[in-house]
């Protein structure tokens, strides 16, 4: 439900964060959430509580390269000054990359047209201590070609009920996926400690873009693709799982630390 336009201005914030110690995007009774940290920082300028809306409600341990948030405020600080001041207040694992003026009524969640997520898998005998909080370590050999074949079957408009958490209260489970694929990826986050300059054959990146995602949908897809990669499922089984709409027919939920919200697109 949209809030009617009020006097003041609407800000659009692009935010990056390392979710390792955070309880997720949404404010919780205990622990640091990205939403609460931003609201607390903005309230110091507003002199009153501020509500911040995020484009995606990332879970505890999940990261963001380009989360988008919106907030209605009445103070008149310019955007550059505000960005610097917010980063001075926020902990070092949360950074505001950009602050922009948005049109009246802009809402980071309801106005989003597409989101892109990336999930990183370290497919090697061991994982570096410098990346353990940003990848899922799968030491068993994976068939990259089989995983890519399975991932492509998710493109299009489908009912993704089989890939959402049990007990989810989202109205409807039909979503449209515009891109779904796996590739071997260069080191995450521009890791300067990694010597490779030609890509990293042991690092797999699953990347998916769509008009919306259900709770744990991407992580369940990844858990299922890993089972395909290990030879436990055929790539074609993805289509059958979609038809069943049953969560117990899909694979396990992959751990949170490999997941990144890459970007959010708007008209």
- DSSP one-letter code for 179: E
Phi/psi of residue 128, each to 5°? -65, 140
- E-assigned strand segments in 55-151: 63-73, 94-102, 114-122, 136-137
CB contact at 8 A, 19 and 62: yes
Left if phi > 0, otherwise alpha if psi is -120 to 50, otherwise beta: which for 199? left
CB contact at 8 A, 141 and 199: no
Count of residues in the chain: 267
Q: Which of 18, 32, 59, 200 is catalytic?
A: 59
- 78 an active-site residue? no
Tell the residue number behind the tokens 């992959």, with chain if given.
254
Q: What's the chain's Rg over C-alpha atoms?
A: 19
Distance of CA 164 to the CA centre of its chain: 15
Phi/psi of residue 40, each to 5°? -65, -40
CA distances in angstroms from 135 to 15, 44, 183, 248, listed in the order given: 20, 36, 15, 25
Which residues partner with 98 through β-bridges? 14
Residue (of 3, 13, 146, 125) closest to 68 by Cα position: 13
Residue (of 199, 201, 224, 221) closest to 209 by Cα position: 221
Where in the sequence numbering do the catalytic residues fall?
59
């Amino acid at each position: 439900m949209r809030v009617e336009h009020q006097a003041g201005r609407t800000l659009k914030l692009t935010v990056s964060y390392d979710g390792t110690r955070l309880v997720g995007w949404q404010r919780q009774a205990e622990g640091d959430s990205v939403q609460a940290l931003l609201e607390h920082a903005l309230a110091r300028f507003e002199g009153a509580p501020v509500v911040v809306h995020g484009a995606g409600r990332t879970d505890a341990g999940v990261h963001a390269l380009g989360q988008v948030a919106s907030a209605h405020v009445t103070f008149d600080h310019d955007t550059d000054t505000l960005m610097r001041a917010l980063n001075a207040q926020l902990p070092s694992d949360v950074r505001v990359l950009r602050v922009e003026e948005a049109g009246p009524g802009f809402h980071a969640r309801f106005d989003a047209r597409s989101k892109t997520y990336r999930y990183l898998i370290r497919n090697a005998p061991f994982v570096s201590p410098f990346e353990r909080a940003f990848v899922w370590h799968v030491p068993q050999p994976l068939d990259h070609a089989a995983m890519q074949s399975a991932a492509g079957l998710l493109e299009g408009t489908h009912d993704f009920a089989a890939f959402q958490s049990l007990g989810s209260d989202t109205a409807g489970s039909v979503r449209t996926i515009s891109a779904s694929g796996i590739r071997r990826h260069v080191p995450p986050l521009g890791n300067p400690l990694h010597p490779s300059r030609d890509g990293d054959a042991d690092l797999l990146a699953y990347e998916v873009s769509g008009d919306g995602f259900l709770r744990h949908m991407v992580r369940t897809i990844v858990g299922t693709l890993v089972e395909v990669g290990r030879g436990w499922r055929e790539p074609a089984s993805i289509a059958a799982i979609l038809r069943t709409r049953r969560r117990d027919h899909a694979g396990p939920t992959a751990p949170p630390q490999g997941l990144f919200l890459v970007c959010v697109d708007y008209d």
